[in-house]
Amino acid sequence: MSDVSKVVLAYSGGLDTSVIVRWLQETYDCEVVTFTADIGQGEEVEPARAKAEALGIKEIYIDDLREEFVRDFVFPMFRSNAIYEGEYLLGTSIARPLIAKRLIDIANETGADAISHGATGKGNDQVRFELGAYALKPGIRVIAPWREWDLNSRDSLMAYCAERDIPVDFANKKTKSPYSMDANLLHISYEGGILEDPWEEAEEDMWRWSVSPEAAPDSPTYIELSFRGGDIVAIDGEELSPATVLTRLNAIGGANGIGRLDIVENRYVGMKSRGCYETPGGTIMLTAHRAVESLTLDREVAHLKDELMPRYAQLVYNGYWWSPERRMLQTAIDESQQYVNGVVRLKLYKGNVACVGRRSDDTLFDENIATFDDDAGAYNQQDAEGFIKLNALRMRIAAGKGRSLL
């Protein structure tokens, strides 16, 4: 008799998780609860209900989490200007803590004693799901089939379906693409196929959300983004919800060839991995946020944020969203955002995003001091002499003691 009576499975309705449903039922002789999240992946999630019902599932959760995803996860991350290894905007990483949270919520609601996911033993997602689950419910049991079973290829999964009369037409919805893809409102990622050779260029028809920069319009697109407390609250003066902001920016950015990325990254589990990403809205958001911060943040606060950012990004990438250190950093970051208010005007053109204007009632930019014209005594240039000498004092002393630099 299994020691697991009920499992909550993160269920997409695809081949892998459809096999996992039956495998859990057979291996653990347990009841399975399915959870399907709509986080803006661009596919209908409701069909997952019929697929789950066909597999004998009685408790089925299908949740629209788009607003929560952007409001409580994407926006807080973008307040930090987080970028992993100088390029990656963390689109997959930031969705995992929300899914982990909801898995635990449902486990509590249904009295389940375990959760399960379809992440493989080679990737980062297993770490992200499970770190989040253990942080939120320390005693939860986690079942990761890819670390237990011997179904290690698509052919073996298909054979499993054939043996158990699992309809391939509903289990195998990704057969049209040679890539492993993950999508949400922030991005879509591509791995596998020819991308496993870092020398091969991604095929143009792989990209789903954006036109190529070459095919983008020959005239630029201008937009104005309004910020309040470090978050975008309006586009061209129209107030919008967080999820609607990102949805609209994805459309605008994709139409202008913005947000494509091809990188080799260092996974937390130790290997290097090549992936391609489309993050049109996020690319626009990052440029705009840094622009409004340039007006409103104190110099030392801005520089300290830049020093903390790689650590914050690494925590998100590695799955430590629910850790005390990430929450501590978030508190500091959010404190810095109280004056990050204003409007940024952007020029979008053939894959590029340029800030061409910014204004704020909370600006620290003083035209009277910064001007190259007569400042009417606002800045005493003679003060600079003592400032420079004091800052050079330690170097002057060392040089006077014979510590030559040449």
Task: Give catalytic residue positions.
Answer: 16, 96, 125, 180
Length of the chain: 406
* The residue to which tokens 């919008």 are assigned: 240
**Measured distance CA(138)–CA(152) in Å, rounded:** 29
Residue 314: both structure tokens together? 């690494």
Q: Smallest Cα–Cα separation from 22: which of 155, 118, 129?
A: 118
Which DSSP symbol is given to 206? Answer: G
Q: Smallest Cα–Cα separation from 344: which of 216, 222, 219?
A: 222
**8 Å CB contact between 383 and 313:** no
Who contacts 273 (Cβ-Cβ below 8 Å, separation ≥6)? 191, 264, 265, 267
| Adjacent-strand bridge partners of 266 | 272
Q: Smallest Cα–Cα separation from 67: which of 185, 221, 227?
A: 185
Q: Smallest Cα–Cα separation from 221: which of 354, 351, 347, 357?
A: 347
Residue 251: both structure tokens together? 């459309």
Q: 3-state DSSP call for residue 123?
A: coil
**Measured distance CA(291)–CA(345) in Å, rounded:** 9
Q: Smallest Cα–Cα separation from 253: which of 216, 290, 227?
A: 216
Q: Smallest Cα–Cα separation from 31: which of 9, 7, 56?
A: 7
Dihedral pair phi/psi, residue 64, rounded to 5°: -85, 105
**8 Å CB contact between 21 and 48:** no
CB atoms within 10 A of CB 155: 9
Cα dihedral 85, 88, 89, 92, rounded to 10, equals -110
